[in-house]
A and B are shown apart, each in its own frame.
Chain A
Amino acid sequence: MRRAAVLAAAAALGILVGAIATAAIQDSSGAPPAAPERRVKEVPVPEPDEHVLLVWTSGGMPADFADRVAALPGVARVTAARGDLVNLTASFAADGRTVDSPAPGYTIPIDALAFDPQSYAPFFDGAAQAQLRALPPGQALLGATSAELRRLGSGGVVQLGNGAQVTVAGVVDDEVVGAAELVVDMTTAPAVGIETVRFLLVAYSGDRPEVERSIAALVPDAAVRFRGRGETPYLRHGDAVLPQALIKARFGEFAYRPSSGRDVLEDPAWPQENIVTEAVPILGRITCHRAVLPAIEGAMRELEERNLAALVDPSGYQGCWVPSIITPGGGVSRHSWGVALDLNFSNNPTGLASAVDPRLIEVMDRWGFISGANYLVPDPGHFEYLHPPRT
């Protein structure tokens, strides 16, 4: 009897100790972590048979440029893409329900591209290639970010300012359409209002510098930008900056209407919610998007703390929120979102070689702003949001 009591007491003690210890371990660790996923057998990445080059020039390129490039030695295939800004006046879901309906007189700016599905699709892999090839005339693909902005999927309808109406055939990865918001085939492009040849994709084998030299020689008076895969996230013209869809996704989307010259008027609800005026070091009170003001303030403060404030001339500050388009018929300026600012502008007008101190470029880059100094058409006083601060 006594022995049974001892055993029972020992067992009870053990249970108590085990339970408390286990509970303590669990409390401290939350819960067991997820089991590692099944081991994947790694092998060398398969090498593609050919390489891809993005080619673009500022302001468009000659209509026959693609044919001339295709005839060059070492070039296997070429496709040309057109691109322009179009204006959305309404959109409808697949069941006819109205999704977007800007106020009368206002439209939503849309970054649109056009390509030939049969020659463009082979530049992309598997699932994307099938979607691109299947794009029928009169219909459109939306980039993934655009589809989220539009709240549209297959069967949705986009109505444009020139009266054109296109049905959404599907949604594709941003990467395969340069993050464009609306993509149609070449036969549909004129009706939608897409005219300007913007960039080429070139499949080549052999020596890249030689291919680049041959292509550049075809347009001796133009500056040409070449990019390989991995050198830019989106194979499209103006690849140094964030595509418009990604700017919208991060900072919001507005409807606008023309004002005078390049100026536009935004639907007042948008600046009311997003544009604020605050004082920052060096520049004083500036008016920008509320989401970039902390970064601008951080950059200016860093310049002050490093005794580099003299690199910014407050009198050369030309504004941050300036609703406008870049050129008549061109893209929407990032100033319209209040996410770009022009510094030292009196010394750095657009189109001239950079006179900006590299230390200013370095500080601004750390805080997320790319300098226009290295644009194809240099705009050295221009700093534009590109990425979150690297601080």
Chain B
Amino acid sequence: MRCDQAAERLSHELDGEVDDREATALEAHIASCSACRAFRDTSLRVRQHLRFEVLSHVPDVEPRVQATVARPMPRARWRWLAPAAAVVAGIVAGAAFIGLRTTGGPDVAAANLSGPVLSAQRRVDALVAQLRVTERGWHPDVPVRSYAGHIDYRAPESIAIDLVDDTKYPSTAWKPNNVATVVSQGTDWRSGPAACPRESQPSCTPAAPRVLASVDREPFPDAEPAPLDLVVPVRSLAGGGDQTLLGSRRVAGRSAIGVQVTAAQVEPLLAGLVQTGNWRELYPSDRVELWLDRESFVPLDLKVFPARSAERERWAAHRGYSDNPRAPVLEIALDDIRLDQAPAADAFPAPPPGAVTRSLGFRELPVDQVAVPDPGWLPPEMAPYRAGLVQTPNGPTVTERTWSDGRAWIKVRETHDWTGDRLFGDLGDAVRRIDSGAAGTVYSGDGGRRIAIHGAGVDAAVSGSLGGDDLLRVATSLGIAGEPAPPTWAEASLVTGPGAAHALPGLLMPERIGGFGKPAVRVDGDAVTLTYTGAGAREFVLVQTRGTALAPPVEIDTRGVDVRGRIGRYSPDRGELEWVERGATFSIRSQSLSLSELLRIAAHLEPV
């Protein structure tokens, strides 16, 4: 058995997926390989530290290992055999050590990071660090770009990111992609080059940066969120189910754990960095190796590698990228990290002169002057933060209060003059109706990150960086008797799983798929739409309707694929997998999941 095989089987063993024969071979190898022993011990420590859910019993291999070690080894016939074997063993051990230490090795274990990351955000009050970014493949004439800068953060929402492009460009015609983002309470601004198509570079990029500023900014706005996932990746990891662990090692002088995710999952983190300026695109299924500080979960190092699939190659070809699958297309690294050290007084500067500025309509008020129902329950140590009023010319008057205990936050908004024809609170498309008992009917959207309540003469919304259960508890403690959405509202057609099965007998729903919450279920005639939301930008929509044939494809470049033993069709640009089964047409659609993942979901469909 080689070390890489041993590492892989160790991973399976930790998941309880190794049979006795494999376990024996594995133990024999571990007994003779110090690097693999160290690797196993590290994996076990990582798991224990994260307190992840043990999927099943992990066999106690220690007695058998000891027995194997104690077994006398046969004596070699030739004198040189032992030194030669020592050299070979040393090479293997050295290679394995370096290999495992620096890359984390193949999939080694899985852990649910939701709890740890939600909890860790409450311990981070400040962050000051140097930032280093490397970008590959942006332009054929500039294969690699590099940036240096810093990140400053002060809880709960003041953040400044400044990146200076230190790339050596082919000529002075190229303008550096210097970017800055500053969010500080009621103001935010972003500076960077105006957008310019890649093929028109370098001459089309204006010499002067474009600076956009917003004032009268409400705390934690949905529309222009501060890039807080760069501090603790709550949106990227919470609700993501079991994550593949890469192991643990030291990064930037800190003890770190690694996880393997996709670019779609860490989209909130990446978007915070590339929200202004000209950057290359990333494919949603690109593999991301993310190393997090073991204690605070601050991202220390992130590398994005090209996914390996026909769809990814097609996507790259359309954009003119020729990516090397072995080289990360984007690297982000923090260094000189000072956690909980207050940023400098001038860390969050005002917008530079000449910024195009607009008002977002928020008026800050003392907390005691803002009439918002007090939650009967708040998580411990949550202290009042900002409060105020949002008044826009054609919108309702909205009062809001916020609470925070560090990076974590909760916001409650309320209005008495809501005239919209759907729920107040901008829950998005994936909305779930929840019967909360005494508090009546409430609605959950955005993967549980937003809760809405429609009551008699009042509409309220709760949002925050906490887990969905905590937000629901806050919402149901507001003292508002939640009523079902009126029949004319969009949410009136929301049902539960059994309700959907009644509308479409024979309804299939996926079983045992990790990383996605309960679906939002909507019935339109005989069409049932189930929307699943996961961490970051991961989502998929499953539509079932009566029918015996698929409509002609929208895309011409479709692929025929085997789905559940039937002939199906995949449209790569739209990310849609379709087939016909038992008198119904099925569509699973996602812009963030690969075809392999869609097929896996299809394979897990079972009757409700």
Contact = CB atoms under 8 A, between A and B. Distances in A.
Contacts of B558: 45
Interface string A25-45: 010011111111110111111
Given A18-B95, A154-B429, A290-B196, A31 B305 contact: yes
Q: Do most interface residues of chain A lie in helix, strand or loop, or is the interface mixed? A: mixed
B569 interface: yes
Interface string A265-302: 00001000110000000000000001111110000000
B428 A153 contact: yes
B587 A127 contact: yes
A173 B194 CA distance: 27
B554 A46 contact: no
A97 interface: yes
B543 A130 contact: yes
A169 B578 contact: no
A234 B413 CA distance: 42
B544 to A, nearest CB: 9
A230 interface: yes
B457 interface: no
A99 B360 CA distance: 9
A34 B306 contact: yes
A26 B305 contact: no
B50 interface: no
A101 B550 CA distance: 42
Interface string A1-38: 00100111011111111111111001001111111111
B326 A37 contact: no
State which size class the interface on A falls in: 35 or more
Contacts of A90: 393-394
B599 A40 contact: yes
A107 B511 CA distance: 49
Contacts of A127: 529, 541, 543, 576, 587, 589
A32 B103 contact: yes
A123 B426 contact: no
A43 B579 CA distance: 12
B568 interface: yes
Nearest to B91: A18
Interface stretch (B154-162, B200-208, B371-379): B200-208
Nearest to B555: A175
Nearest to B358: A101
A31 B289 contact: yes
A134 B395 contact: no
Contacts of B551: 48, 122-126, 129
Given A46-B569, A95-B461, A125-B587, A269 B223 contact: no
A99 to B, nearest CB: 8
Nearest to B423: A155
A128 interface: yes
A18 B287 contact: no
A30 B328 contact: yes
Interface stretch (A49-57, A352-360, A375-383): A49-57
B407 interface: no
B383 interface: no
Contacts of B524: 130, 133-134
Given A14-B87, A19-B98, A37 B308 contact: yes
B97 A173 contact: no
Contacts of B210: 273
B308 A14 contact: no
B18 to A, nearest CB: 20
B426 A32 contact: no
A122 B106 CA distance: 46
Given A17-B94, A125-B551, A155 B420 contact: yes
Interface residues of B, number: 114
Contact of A14 (B91, B396, B398, B522): B91
A226 to B, nearest CB: 15
A159 interface: yes
A252 B524 CA distance: 36
Nearest to A151: B223
Interface string B534-568: 00000001010100011111111111111000011
B256 interface: no
Given A37-B309, A229-B552, A15 B204 contact: no
A162 to B, nearest CB: 16
A19 B94 contact: yes
Interface stretch (B19-27, B54-62, B78-86): B78-86
A33 B313 CA distance: 14
A97 B395 contact: yes
A15 B96 CA distance: 9
Given A45-B560, A123-B551, A167 B421 contact: yes
Contacts of A331: none
Interface in A214-250: 229-230, 250
Contacts of A345: none
A12 B97 CA distance: 13
B526 to A, nearest CB: 10
A98 B390 CA distance: 11
Among A19, A99, A252, find the residue whose CB has the most chain B CB atoms closer than 10 A.
Answer: A19
Interface in B505-545: 522, 524-525, 527, 529, 541, 543, 545
A176 interface: yes
Contact of B574 (A29, A129, A175): A175
B560 A22 contact: no
Nearest to A232: B556
A15 B93 CA distance: 6
B267 to A, nearest CB: 14
A19 B97 contact: yes
A389 interface: yes
Among B90, B326, B360, B595, find the residue whose CB has the most chain A CB atoms closer than 10 A.
Answer: B90
Nearest to B540: A127
B200 to A, nearest CB: 5
A11 B576 CA distance: 55
A30 B98 contact: no
A125 B555 CA distance: 10
B424 interface: yes
Given A11-B87, A18-B91, A45-B558, A170 B599 contact: no
A96 interface: yes
A295 B198 CA distance: 12
A11 B89 contact: yes
A46 B560 CA distance: 7
A62 interface: no
A97 B223 CA distance: 9
Interface in B381-402: 390, 392-396, 398
Contacts of B418: 96
B567 A44 contact: yes
Interface in A117-157: 122-130, 133-134, 139, 151, 153-155, 157
A96 B392 contact: yes
A132 to B, nearest CB: 10
A48 B541 contact: no
Contacts of A22: 94-95, 98-99
Contacts of A23: 98, 102
A14 B93 contact: yes
A18 B96 CA distance: 8
Contacts of A96: 392, 394-396, 398, 415, 418, 420
B93 A124 contact: no
B537 to A, nearest CB: 14
Nearest to B286: A34
Contact of B326 (A18, A31, A49, A122): A31
Nearest to B87: A14
B131 interface: no
B600 to A, nearest CB: 8
Closest 8 pairs (CB-CB, A-B): A14-B90, A126-B587, A96-B395, A18-B94, A230-B556, A18-B91, A19-B94, A33-B325
11 contacts: A7-B86, A18-B93, A50-B552, A90-B394, A125-B571, A153-B429, A155-B490, A274-B194, A290-B203, A295-B200, A388-B197
Given A95-B395, A127-B576, 10 more contacts: A33-B326, A92-B395, A99-B223, A125-B571, A127-B529, A130-B543, A151-B223, A167-B420, A230-B556, A273-B194
